[in-house]
């Protein structure tokens, strides 16, 4: 995790090659987000190895395979020493890649193989030839010993047999033991450590710092226990009351895992921000302090960011839910902080651009008044950007929400505290006290203890581990953990503020004092202290080792008692629930529709305001108002098939207005080859208009963007009015095996209707390539499109020209005849 595993692996491959111990080829599998990092390290430190990056779309990879095949045919050797590719491509192109006998395979971020039943695990184990395997991971144990076995079995299947054999040998290490039985636990862990020493090279910060091989600035981790504001308390109790029947049936084992998970997610939403629930946010929406005052976490975050901004620090802000990122983005806009955002919806090129902007080193001559240069905050979804990124330009990491897996948060922290960091790093974990979040926190600590016990140093104590079982941290243990908090202690009316949904001024002052102590921890002298992990609340600061144990384990009797107490307490919060029902939408269907209409209008107003700010004008064609009667169709329109270039319609219809019709997807990225190159050669304003529409959120399925071409901006002369109609009829998602979808016939029909209507209004003809006919398998689709063309040509009485592109080889054959 930022300690040079990549460079070590490159050094190993270079040593094997240059000392003639292995001629290769070598295979490297890694996430797509770190492929550039691998290539950069090879270019810097190991130019002697020939590296091929086997990534890209289907066509590009086909060309690479053909090039490899041709090279082998000519020289009888592969054109590379190292092939770099991703997990997904290894699965998609397994039939080709598995034919190559890999002398050594390196799998980066190998925690991806923790599930022995996954497709990737089985494809690599059964299909690929790679007798020597190196796994790179900062988290070999994330949840239980089963995951450790999966990694060990993948490396040495002959040594580490079946899962049953492994778990039966070390099962005592995974259960709670007391007295003499605890000695058995220690002995099992000791045996497991000795076995792992033969298969695992550990490169830890502490060992590297002690040996003098690495100089890293200090890292201080603080868990900040944040209170609920009254509105959150009302929501929290309301969720528990709503799910009371499930909570009652849970002790008897009648509740499903899914129902329990739903309860936990709703409780976590109440802890993060009330506006994550529909109907709680005031309508119509207005920016204001209500956004901050509605959440205890956001109040503390506001105070922290203000102090960090004034002192010139930069922040990584992690959250688990993308909806939470939406609220945090509204908050940063309210406070006028500059920021970047990264979540699963951000495309690769935008992701790299955001990282480059945030990673720009401060320039003293360009700093603003407050001392900031560039984005102040980088908002990141933990799962989307928690691994593989280098963001050492930030020296403060704030976790607004915990991930279910504590190792994911540990990985995310290493984006800042890694090689290249020059400043003291402060990690702040915001946890709502005495709620489900604190239960999750205690479960996470036990998971980390399991990892430390198995792969930690010899001096690490095992006797402190309690109830580390294979089921640690699951939904059942989280629900059972609720009983440590007395529900009768939640009194939504115990607040002296005039606004019953906000904290009193006295409590705000206490929180401000607490945040001052948190920020000042960076300047505390930690040289003589071994433990740099602390926990702080409104009253005191204590070390992690001194924390009170709020994790009594799976105590069913205590849980039943808690549920009974909650049943009694429910009566005192009936008025609260009624109030919440009123706020959350216990209204008529007309009122709900009116609220939705207000939300739609607000969204439209925000979009138009953004367009006005950048001077954007939409080119999307509206739906025709006057729908023609399809029964009244004459033969004045026609569909004609011609040879030629559809981007040059003057050769078919000289001196007549024309519209060029072309299909695009909704990715916002202009394509290459074919019609894309032809249109770009015609005028650069066409791809510019397409990309601008995407940036302004004006690119949707079924949209038709009509671009009028000016002769001054065209690369050839035009003798009549000319337009280009871009029909958005394909969706794009990088997560799909084939990112670009086939043409959507319903959306194509909508676009043809708009284009035909526009052509009729402008007395123009319509010119297009033969859509949806690439090979024999597409004939049925083409026949559907042909019927649509004939329909709209007759309906709007226009001429539609469908072009066949005559390739040079075909022209030569025609000349010979």
CATH number at residue 744: 3.40.220.10
131 and 45 within one domain:
yes
Q: How confident is the model at residue 261 (pLDDT cuts 50, 70, 90)?
A: confident
484 and 342 within one domain:
yes
Residue 185 lies in a domain: no
Average pLDDT value for residue range 139-166: 78
pLDDT score for 458:
45
Residue 315 lies in a domain: yes
pLDDT score for 703:
92
- DSSP H or E run through 167: helix 163-170
243 and 155 within one domain:
no
Q: What is the DSSP letter of 466?
A: -
Residue 598 lies in a domain: no
Q: What is the pLDDT of residues 155-210, one digit of tens each?
A: 888 888 788 777 776 655 544 444 445 566 667 777 777 777 777 777 666 666 66
- 385 vs 643, residue with greater confidence: 643
155 and 223 within one domain:
no
Q: Which of 527, 548, 572 is the last residue of a domain?
A: 572
Residue 178 lies in a domain: no
Strand-pair partners of 639? 800
Residue 579 lies in a domain: no
pLDDT score for 532:
62
The Cα–Cα gap between 330 and 604 comes to 17
Residue 536 lies in a domain: yes
Question: Domains in the chain: how many in total?
Answer: 3
314 and 243 within one domain:
yes
pLDDT score for 540:
62
- Would the pLDDT of 136 be above 70? yes
CB within 8 A of 575, min separation 6: which ones?
A: none
Average pLDDT value for residue range 258-285: 81
- Would the pLDDT of 575 be above 60? no
Of the listed ranges 122-136, 346-360, 773-787, the one predicted with least confidence: 773-787
Q: What is the pLDDT of residues 104-120, one digit of tens each?
A: 999 988 888 888 888 99
- 373 vs 545, residue with greater confidence: 373
Q: What is the pLDDT of residues 617-652, one digit of tens each?
A: 889 998 876 555 545 445 557 889 888 889 989 888
Q: How confident is the model at residue 82 (pLDDT cuts 50, 70, 90)?
A: very high
- DSSP H or E run through 197: helix 181-197
Find out whether 503 and 303 touch, Cβ atoms under 8 Å. no
Of the listed ranges 45-49, 313-317, 421-425, 723-727, the one predicted with least confidence: 421-425
Q: How confident is the model at residue 558 (pLDDT cuts 50, 70, 90)?
A: low
- Would the pLDDT of 234 be above 60? yes
Calculate the average pLDDT of the chain: 77
CATH number of the domain at 46, please. 3.40.50.10810
Residue 279 lies in a domain: yes
**Domain with 671 in it:** 638-816
560 and 649 within one domain:
no
233 and 151 within one domain:
no
Cβ neighbours around 521 below 10 Å, total: 18
242 and 111 within one domain:
no
- Would the pLDDT of 350 be above 80? no
Q: At what angle do helices 5-18 and 35-45 cross, to 10 degrees?
A: 50
Reduced to 3 states (helix: H, G, I; strand: E, B; else coil), residue 190 is helix
pLDDT score for 244:
64
pLDDT score for 146:
80
248 and 152 within one domain:
no
CATH number of the domain at 304, please. 3.40.50.300
Cβ neighbours around 716 below 10 Å, total: 11
Q: Which of 524, 549, 572 is the last residue of a domain?
A: 572
Residue 214 lies in a domain: no
pLDDT score for 679:
92
667 and 756 within one domain:
yes
647 and 561 within one domain:
no
Sheet holding 533-536, edge to edge: 339-342, 377-381, 315-319, 396-399, 425-432, 219-226, 533-536, 541-543
The Cα–Cα gap between 583 and 282 comes to 9
Find out whether 115 and 149 touch, Cβ atoms under 8 Å. no
249 and 100 within one domain:
no
Q: Which of 203, 235, 265 is the last residue of a domain?
A: 203
Please report which residue ranges of 585-673 form alpha helices under DSSP H: 589-614
pLDDT score for 63:
92
């Amino acid at each position: 995790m930022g300690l040079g595993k990549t460079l070590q692996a490159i050094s190993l491959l270079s040593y094997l090659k240059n000392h003639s111990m292995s001629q290769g080829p070598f295979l490297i599998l890694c996430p797509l987000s770190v492929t550039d990092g691998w290539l950069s390290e090879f270019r810097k430190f190991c130019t002697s190895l020939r590296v091929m990056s086997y990534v890209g779309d289907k066509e590009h990879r086909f060309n690479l395979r053909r090039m490899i095949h041709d090279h082998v045919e000519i020289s009888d050797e592969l054109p590379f020493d190292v092939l770099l590719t991703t997990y997904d491509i290894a699965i998609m192109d397994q039939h080709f890649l598995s034919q190559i006998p890999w002398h050594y395979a390196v799998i980066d971020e190998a925690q991806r193989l923790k599930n022995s039943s996954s497709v990737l695990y089985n494809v690599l184990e059964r299909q690929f030839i790679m007798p020597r395997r190196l796994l790179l991971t900062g988290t070999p144990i994330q949840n239980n010993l089963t995951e450790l076995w999966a990694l060990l079995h993948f490396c040495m299947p002959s040594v580490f047999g079946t899962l049953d054999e492994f778990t039966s040998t070390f099962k005592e290490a995974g259960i709670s033991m007391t007295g003499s039985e605890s000695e058995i636990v220690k002995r099992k862990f000791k045996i497991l450590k000795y076995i792992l020493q033969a298969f695992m090279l550990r490169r830890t910060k502490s060992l590297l710092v002690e040996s003098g091989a690495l100089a890293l600035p200090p890292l201080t981790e603080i868990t900040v226990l944040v209170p609920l504001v009254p509105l959150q308390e009302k929501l929290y109790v309301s969720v528990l009351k709503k799910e009371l029947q499930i909570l009652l049936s849970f002790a008897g084992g009648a509740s499903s895992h899914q129902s329990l998970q739903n309860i936990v997610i709703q409780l976590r939403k109440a802890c993060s921000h009330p506006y994550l629930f529909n109907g709680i946010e005031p309508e119509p929406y207005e920016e204001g302090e209500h956004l901050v005052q509605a959440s205890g976490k956001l109040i503390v975050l506001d105070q922290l960011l203000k102090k960090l901004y004034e002192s010139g620090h930069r922040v990584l802000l992690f959250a688990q839910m993308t909806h939470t990122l939406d609220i945090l983005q509204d908050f940063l806009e309210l406070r006028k902080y500059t920021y970047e955002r990264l979540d699963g919806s951000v495309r690769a090129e935008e992701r790299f651009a955001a990282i480059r902007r945030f990673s720009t080193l401060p320039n003293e001559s360009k700093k603003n008044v407050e001392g900031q240069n560039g984005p102040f905050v980088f908002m990141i979804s933990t799962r989307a950007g928690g691994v593989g990124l280098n963001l050492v330009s930030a020296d403060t990491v704030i976790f607004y929400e915990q991930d279910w897996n504590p190792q994911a948060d540990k990985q995310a922290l290493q984006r800042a505290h890694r090689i290249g960091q020059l400043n003291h790093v402060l990690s702040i974990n915001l946890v709502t006290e005495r709620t489900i979040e604190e239960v999750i926190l205690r479960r996470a600590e036990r998971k980390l203890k399991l990892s430390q016990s198995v792969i930690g140093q010899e001096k690490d104590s095992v006797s402190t581990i309690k109830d580390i079982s294979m089921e640690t941290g699951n939904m059942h243990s989280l629900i059972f953990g609720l009983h440590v908090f007395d529900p009768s202690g939640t009194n939504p009316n115990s607040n002296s503020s005039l606004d019953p949904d906000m904290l009193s001024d006295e409590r705000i002052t206490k929180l401000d004092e607490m945040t001052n102590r948190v920020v000042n921890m960076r300047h505390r002298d930690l040289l003589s202290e071994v433990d740099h992990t602390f926990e702080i609340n409104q009253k005191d600061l204590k070390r992690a080792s001194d924390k009170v144990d709020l994790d009594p384990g799976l105590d069913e009797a205590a849980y039943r008692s808690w549920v009974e107490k909650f049943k009694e307490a429910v009566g005192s919060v009936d008025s609260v629930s009624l109030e919440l029902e009123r706020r959350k939408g216990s209204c008529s269907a007309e009122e709900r529709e009116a609220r939705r209409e207000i939300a739609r209008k607000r969204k439209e107003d925000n979009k138009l305001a953004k367009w006005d700010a950048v001077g954007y004008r939409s080119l999307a064609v509206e739906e025709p108002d006057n729908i023609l009667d399809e029964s009244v169709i004459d033969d004045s329109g026609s569909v004609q098939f011609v040879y030629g270039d559809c981007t040059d319609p003057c050769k078919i219809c000289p001196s007549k207005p024309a519209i060029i019709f072309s299909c695009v997807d909704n990715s916002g990225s202009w394509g290459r080859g074919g019609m894309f190159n032809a249109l770009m050669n015609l005028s650069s304003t066409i791809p510019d208009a397409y990309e601008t529409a995407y940036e302004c959120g004006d690119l949707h399925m079924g949209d038709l963007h009509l671009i009028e071409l000016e002769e001054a901006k065209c690369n050839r002369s035009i003798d009549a009015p000319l337009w280009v109609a871009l029909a958005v009829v394909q969706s794009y998602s990088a997560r799909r095996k084939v990112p670009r979808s086939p043409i959507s016939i319903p959306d194509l029909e909508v676009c043809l209707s708009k284009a035909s209507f526009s052509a009729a209004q402008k007395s123009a003809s319509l010119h297009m390539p033969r859509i949806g006919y690439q090979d024999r398998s597409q004939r049925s689709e083409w026949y559907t499109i042909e019927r649509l063309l004939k329909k709209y040509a007759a309906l709007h009485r226009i001429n539609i020209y469908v072009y066949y592109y005559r390739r040079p080889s075909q022209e030569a054959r025609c000349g010979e005849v």
